[in-house]
Amino acid sequence: MTRSTHVRHRVLFVITKSNWGGAQRYVFDMATGLDPARYSVAVALGGDGLLARRLREVGIPVHQLPMERDVRLVGELRVLSALYRLLRRERPDIVHLNSSKAGGLGGVAARLARVPAIIFTGHGWAFNEDRPRWHALLIRFFVWVTLLLAHRTICVSHAICEQVAELPLVRGRLITIHNGIPPARLRDRAEARSILSLPPDAFVVGTIAELHPTKGHRYLIEALNQLSAVHACFIGEGELRETLADQVAAHDLSARVHFAGLVRDAPELLGAFDLFVLPSISEALGLVVLEAGAAGLPVIASRVGGIPEIISRPEEGVLVPPRDPHALAAAIEALRSDPTRRSALGRTLQQRVHEVFTRERMIAETEALYRATKSD
């Protein structure tokens, strides 16, 4: 009788930034969730942010790269050289690329290093952001090149898959694997509000997102200006911090809008909110919508990107047009005045997330893609 053995395949994840956004949470969940009997994992990234620290805490090797989000020719050549040297030294069987810059530079380096399987996960496309048309077209071209460099591309929603499926020679390389999340761990309401310095008895709408133009915080502030006695909590940091603070002050909302900054394990504090709002103007899927749903919160979100693939029925949440503070204010007020409906929406979305959007399903589908790509 012979005992079957598995060869452990070396997987190197590559991501541009080491902060803690949706793409970084995806890399962490994948890196810590792959079957350790089949895969040995390392991560290459730019910076030394929360993702890098959390990976080290759980014993996953981290390789730091001189990689930043801004594009500078000399810097890109330096990153490309560093990636190539890393790949030649580590000789991974699978390179799993995440984010635009890591996807493009990592794709070139992996092809030059003859990596057997190159996977790219599209967490959204930069050409969807507000830009001049020429700039968006240029970015679209580079996205196309990145998709051709990868053997297979994972799209985290059908919506973003369709946005690139008509590019030449691309459709057969695409597969949709929705994000999944681990079971929710929640602190109780009083403790969560204390940590976030929120008034104990106020009606609080909350959001967790980088303070970036695509996340639409400005529209939530405009909506709050039309409402009374509603507080908002923004968990996250980013380039718009001062701009949003100025907008809050201009509307005399400083007593009702709370900037919590970066908060470790922020999903554990979702119980502090009565309502979760994601007013994005562009969203690949909306990982935080999954987290809010898992926490049993009612959700109001923009009808953009993959969000309607999560909130697929009116019983699961409220979708509003993007960039429409009036519709957002009306939706918040309607749910604020109807606690029974809030509870029903939270329960229904929670059940959907638990049944469909699990981390186990996401990892199983990704491991199946790894096996199929290596056997091609």
In a domain, 74, yes or no: yes
Looking at the chain, the whole-number percentage of residues with pLDDT higher than 70 is 97
Report the C-alpha gap between 312 and 300 in whole angstroms: 13
Specify whether the CB–CB gap between 17 and 69 falls below 8 A.
Answer: yes
pLDDT higher than 70, residue 96: yes
In a domain, 1, yes or no: no
Q: How do residues 242-300 score in pLDDT, each as one tens digit?
A: 999 999 999 999 999 999 999 989 999 999 999 999 999 999 999 999 999 999 999 99
Same domain, 335 and 271: yes
Same domain, 223 and 77: no
pLDDT higher than 90, residue 10: yes
Q: Which domain holds residue 288?
A: 189-356
In a domain, 298, yes or no: yes
Same domain, 171 and 200: no
Same domain, 162 and 252: no
145-166 burial, b at 16+ Cβ within 10 Å, e below that, comes to ebbbbbbbbbbbbbbbbebbee
In a domain, 132, yes or no: yes
Same domain, 140 and 211: no
Same domain, 93 and 142: yes
In a domain, 326, yes or no: yes
Same domain, 148 and 202: no
Q: How do residues 305-340 score in pLDDT, each as one tens digit?
A: 999 999 999 999 999 999 999 999 999 999 999 999
Same domain, 125 and 158: yes
Q: How do residues 129-183 score in pLDDT, each as one tens digit?
A: 888 999 999 999 999 999 999 999 999 999 999 999 999 999 999 999 999 999 8
Q: What is the pTM of this model?
A: 0.92
Same domain, 321 and 363: no
Q: Which neighbouring-strand residues pair with 65?
A: 46
Same domain, 139 and 257: no
In a domain, 293, yes or no: yes
Give the number of other CB atoms < 10 A from CB of residue 4. 4
Same domain, 245 and 275: yes
3-class DSSP state of 41: strand
In a domain, 60, yes or no: yes
End-to-end CA distance of the chain: 31
At residue 68, the pLDDT reads 74
Q: How do residues 184-208 score in pLDDT, each as one tens digit?
A: 899 999 999 999 999 999 999 999 9
Enclosing H/E stretch for 230: strand 230-235
Averaged pLDDT of the chain: 95
Same domain, 13 and 149: yes
At residue 2, the pLDDT reads 42
User: Total structural domains in the chain?
Assistant: 2
CATH of the domain at 122: 3.40.50.2000
In a domain, 4, yes or no: no
Closest-CA residue to 60 (of 98, 32, 37): 32
